[in-house]
Amino acid sequence: MAVSSAKFFELRHTRSKGDLWPMLDRVYGRHTAYEPFKTALLATLKSAWHRRPNDLKLLDLKRDLDPDWFQRSEMVGYACYTDRFAGQLKDVQDRLPYLQSLGVNYLHLMPLLEPRPRPNDGGYSIMDYRRVNPDLGTMDDLETLAGTMRANDMSLCIDLVLNHTAREHAWAQKALAGDPFYQAFYYFFDDDTQPRLYERSLIEIFPNDSPGNFTYVPELDKWVWTTFTEHQWDLNWSNPWVFLEIVKVMMFLANKGIDILRLDAVAFLWKRLGTRCQSEPEVHWLLRALRACSRIVSPAVLHLEEAITGPAEMLTYLGRGEHDGREGNLAYHNNLMVQYWSALASRDTTLMRHVMRENFPETVTNATYATYLRCHDDIGWAISDEDTGALGMSGHAHRAFLSDFYEGTFPGSFSNGALFQENKGTGDKRISGTLASLAGMEQPDGEEMAIHRILMGTALIASFGGVPLIYMGDEIATLNDFSYLQDEYRFDDSRWVHRPAMDWDRVAQAESGRDPQARVLAGTRHIMARRKATVQFHGTVPTHILEPDAIEVFGFSRLAPTGAVVCLFNMSDRIVSVSGGWLRDQGITEFYDLLSNAEVGLHEDQLVLLPYARVWMT
């Protein structure tokens, strides 16, 4: 007997309604429009399901039957700006074979929905959720690219900014015109009395360029909430009609073939006086409900929740407590990145071990991490005073040391980073830079060590657990690009130093040469190929932090049913060793390195690790 489309919808709604309606009851149950909102939301979900193309419905079924598809060791990610990588969306298709040569099957094209004219926060100030930036192509181009990628077993990720829209968005323009319905989509205040009260506990995100969290709107003689910049107006998620409109956008994009929605700036969705207005309980109720909407209409689609926070807070975006396994599918492992740079600078993994062991579970439910060494944003030193205090360290001093080290001003530093957004009041300083520049590629006679720092870090994110993300150009050791200083819209944002256009001539040279760029490219390809061949790196396999005798060595064991894989990384420029007895205690009997795919010999029952060595022992 054939099963009707309506019956499929009913079954999926039954499966996920417990994650949808109870969450919405909590958030909106007392709102005067709650009942008509619920009716409208259910109608929206049904309509989106009936409009969903058949090939995507088939993909939904396939991934429902294969729910761990994104947790497998075969997954490798790549992130880039469309224009700086290829030009336009239609040109990206020509570059897919290159990505496949890296092992990439997950491509994140950073903000490509239509932004306001510059300045637009690098494209994150969205003017229209349903149109592609005209400079990059059209929605038809995006749908075509998604289809081509799907035919090649590749997944496409795009950004969906949830916290705010551009002031030029149609909703904001209607609010400016005096429409009370759309003014309720944002946070407006008749004077600055309430904003001043909120400011007492809020954090400035861009203290240099956009101090404060509120902007005066002369057209209305009102203040509006602007967490990030004056042209990015925070959406009022306490209004159920905002939820409904975002769901419509999500379903529209899902039905165009998008596989992963990177939900941007999610921590800021809920405002509560006297708090930081970050990661409030309502945020997780809302995100769980949004996930349920996708599970009902487009279960093939993943949610990547972008929240760059401390460990305990970050984990909540993968679902903790009552939300365990029911919220985000992916979250950035910001702390692994920060601890990688911290251990490199200090040549000491004590803090890294402590943070990874004490703050992170060995597995997470129905989710996994996105692991990376850097991204399009700056590096903020998310190192807590609690963690440093537990080791007798000063958190403030260590964060200041890292900023100075990676800016290149600390004596003995190998790095060539750029300072970003120094907050004079708090002493907070962040850092920009490409992977190669931060790793010391520009230092006189420093190329050899820089290559090994890069490849060691790449082996780390490939094995720790999750989906490793390569940021565009890092695979060819791209250096800092200071041409942004000549751009009137970018000169005051040092993050553009690590967002240069892809150098395809450099790629061609690296394909056939033996220079540092060629070695990094070949090394990256090798690491990702070996990752794919190592089934023990499945996202559900526990990651157990180890305590090697040498403080320079960071280690963990992937505790697979077929046997442990012990991964070791010498975070220093010194030769160190790990005893054979200790390795045997961790279950290592064959002394075989899965990374080099070769046997490893011991010297006087010691495993000798050269500077920045990396091994995956079994």
Q: What is the C-alpha to C-alpha distance for residues 373 and 527, in angstroms, rounded to an integer?
A: 15
Residue that has been written with the tokens 């010999």 in this structure: 601
Q: Return the C-alpha torsion angle 24, 26, 29, 33, nearest 10.
A: -40
Q: For 323, which DSSP code?
A: G
- Torsion angle of C-alpha atoms 519, 522, 528, 534, degrees rounded to 10: -100
Q: Which residues contact 58 (CB under 8 A, 6 or more apart)?
A: none
Please identify which of the residues 141, 143, 234, 306 carries the catalytic annotation. 306
The two three-digit tokens of residue 201, written as one number: 């506990």
Q: Under 8 Å CB-to-CB from 285, ≥6 apart: which residues?
A: 23, 24, 26, 27
Q: Of 428, 313, 305, 321, give the one whose Cα is nearest residue 359.
A: 313
The total number of residues written for the chain in this structure: 618
- Amino acid in position 354: H
CA distance 309 to 320: 15
Residues 416, 399: Cα–Cα separation, whole Å: 17
Read off the DSSP letter of residue 475: G
The question of whether 306 is a catalytic residue gets the answer yes
The first and second tokens of residue 111, run together, are: 């903000």
Q: Which amino acid is at 162?
A: L
Closest CA to 313 of 266, 273, 246: 266
Alpha-carbon gap, residue 268 to 187, rounded angstroms: 13
Rounded Cα gap, residues 607 and 601, in angstroms: 7
Catalytic residue among 74, 264, 442, 593: 264
d(CA 566, CA 575): 19
Which three-class secondary structure state does DSSP give residue 208?
Answer: coil
CB 442 within 8 A of CB 449: no
Long-range CB pairs of 195-203 (<8 Å, 24+ gap) are: 195/223, 195/225, 197/273, 198/271, 198/273, 198/277, 200/274, 201/273, 201/274, 201/275, 201/276, 201/277, 202/276, 202/277, 203/276, 203/278
- Catalytic residue ranges: 264, 306
